[in-house]
Amino acid sequence: MRLHFGLSLALVLGTFGVAQAQPPYPYPPNAYPPGAHRPAPPVFPGEAAAEVLRQGMDKLLEFLGQKEKPNRLQVAAFLDREIAPYFDFGYMARWVAGPRYGAMSGKQRKALAANLESRFLSALAAHLSRYQGQRVRYFRPRMSRRGPVIVSVGILQPGTYPSKLNFRMYRSKAGWKVYDVVANGRSAVAYYRVQFNRSGFGGSPPPSRR
């Protein structure tokens, strides 16, 4: 899956409070009385994020793997309907704009998020329309030192696709969301930040330099 923004494709940073480790059971499993409810052991945040990503990837690969290959317009419609909800473009906009985000109006923030969504999904549609049945491999998710979860996906027999994608995810009020994708070391957020600093596309234009 090659994510391209004018160069390569590749949503920011949420901060999780990491609780101290707690035992999975309040007392030894064997000590539960007959018929008592046994609570499930806690789930590592990375595993929960990875499961959300797998669900989205499974949807996408099933759609692309149809016998009758979907055209670019069909791919774009599917991405908008089924895949876009896995991303948080509003959160992406916050990190793309950086310090300027605080000075932007609500209307400008929404315009920036909409612009990012359009650019990202259009680029993704263009490259997925050339999908050749590549398989994917999921690596063990990891927590970054600054908070979010990184879920890495390897592309087997990549061809023209990157051999590895890193999905950066954070836990929003609506669940786990992707806020950035890094393809072959190139970050979508970093690329769009450069573009925003140059032109302010769709959001708050950069101030004129004197």
Fold of 43-199: Nuclear Transport Factor 2; Chain: A, (3.10.450)
pLDDT value at 186 more than 70: yes
Query: pLDDT tens digits, residue range 31-60?
Result: 445 555 655 555 577 888 999 999 999 999
Question: pLDDT value at position 207?
Answer: 63
Distance CA 161, CA 9 (A): 10
The two structure tokens encoding residue 147? 């908070």
Residue 116 pLDDT grade (very low, low, confident, very high; cuts 50, 70, 90) = very high
Question: pLDDT value at position 6?
Answer: 36
Query: pLDDT tens digits, residue range 196-205?
Result: 998 888 776 6
Distance CA 85, CA 25 (A): 35
pLDDT value at 64 more than 60: yes
Question: pLDDT value at position 13?
Answer: 28
Query: pLDDT tens digits, residue range 93-104?
Result: 999 999 999 999
Q: 177 pairs with which residues across the strands?
A: 170
